């Protein structure tokens, strides 16, 4: 004997069938380039909006050490060459990426001897100049809040692993320096200190008794 399904049983079976046929939610995969993921912002190419502006290749002039450079990459790499002629050769490159490639290819004797010791301080100074001189870039940096900033490289080499990350691995020094600068901008400006009140004698006439002198605070 076959039992007939009640209306309630039919409704439950239909609901179960819909749940089985519904496709599973897709899992988001990590990406590179200009993307925001949770509390992390990744950038790489200078032409990606809006965070491509964080790249040193972003086309925005920077005044540094008494000279105007086409990009912050130019300003940074200018400090690497030991000889002025080599520096000018690097800076004559038509694009910042080519300037960087030229600087990375220098022989050891063409690089200033203490470059390893000064390069991070120079980059910090160049970044400060870049964001101090362009209010829109400074506002963009501040707008990232507490997000972790990452230069997400696409080519796995020593340079990309130093200044950024490749497949999640690297020191990400550019991102770290940008977050340091952002933290400074986020701090409230100190209030001006009030001048201490001056104490003057109540009268120019010298009292007979010192205990009778009165003070006036102005």
198-214: pLDDT as tens digits: 655 555 455 545 544 44
Interstrand relation of 62-64 and 67-69 (parallel, antiparallel or unpaired): antiparallel
Residue that wins the pLDDT comparison between 70 and 16: 70
Residues 6 or more apart whose Cβ sits within 8 Å of residue 130: 60, 62, 72, 75, 137
What is the band of 183 on the pLDDT scale with cuts at 50, 70, 90?
very high
Tell me what pLDDT residue 34 has.
Answer: 60
Report how far residue 172's alpha carbon sits from residue 160's, in angstroms, rounded to the nearest whole number: 8
Residue that wins the pLDDT comparison between 153 and 27: 153
Q: Which token pair is 202? A: 């109540």
Report how far residue 148's alpha carbon sits from residue 167's, in angstroms, rounded to the nearest whole number: 16
Tell me what pLDDT residue 176 has.
Answer: 98
What is the band of 59 on the pLDDT scale with cuts at 50, 70, 90?
very high
Residue 61 has pLDDT above 90, yes or no: yes
HSE-CB of 134 using CA atoms within 13 angstroms: 20
- The pTM for the full model equals 0.71
What is the band of 188 on the pLDDT scale with cuts at 50, 70, 90?
confident
Residue that wins the pLDDT comparison between 151 and 31: 151
What is the band of 85 on the pLDDT scale with cuts at 50, 70, 90?
very high
User: Which range has highest mean pLDDT (8-22, 33-47, 92-106)?
Assistant: 92-106
- For a pLDDT cut of 70, what percent of the chain falls above it? 70
Report how far residue 133's alpha carbon sits from residue 63's, in angstroms, rounded to the nearest whole number: 8
């Amino acid at each position: 004997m076959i039992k007939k399904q009640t209306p309630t049983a039919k409704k439950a079976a239909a609901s179960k069938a819909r749940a089985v046929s519904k496709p599973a939610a897709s899992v988001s995969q990590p990406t590179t380039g200009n993307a925001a993921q949770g509390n992390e912002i990744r950038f790489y190419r200078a032409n990606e909006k809006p965070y491509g502006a964080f790249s040193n290749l972003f086309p925005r002039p920077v005044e540094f050490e008494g000279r105007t450079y086409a990009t912050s990459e130019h300003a940074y790499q200018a400090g690497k060459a030991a000889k002025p002629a080599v520096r000018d050769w690097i800076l004559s490159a038509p694009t910042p990426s080519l300037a960087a490639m030229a600087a990375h290819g220098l022989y050891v004797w063409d690089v200033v001897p203490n470059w390893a010791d000064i390069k991070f301080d120079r980059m910090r100074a160049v970044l400060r100049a870049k964001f101090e001189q362009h209010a829109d870039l400074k506002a963009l940096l501040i707008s990232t809040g507490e997000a972790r900033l990452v230069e997400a490289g696409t080519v796995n080499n020593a340079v990309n692993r130093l200044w950024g990350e490749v497949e999640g691995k690297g020191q990400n020094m550019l991102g770290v320096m940008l977050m340091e600068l952002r933290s400074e901008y986020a701090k409230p400006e100190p209030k001006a200190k009030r001048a201490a009140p001056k104490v003057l004698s109540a009268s120019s006439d010298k009292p007979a008794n010192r205990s009778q002198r009165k003070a006036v605070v102005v």
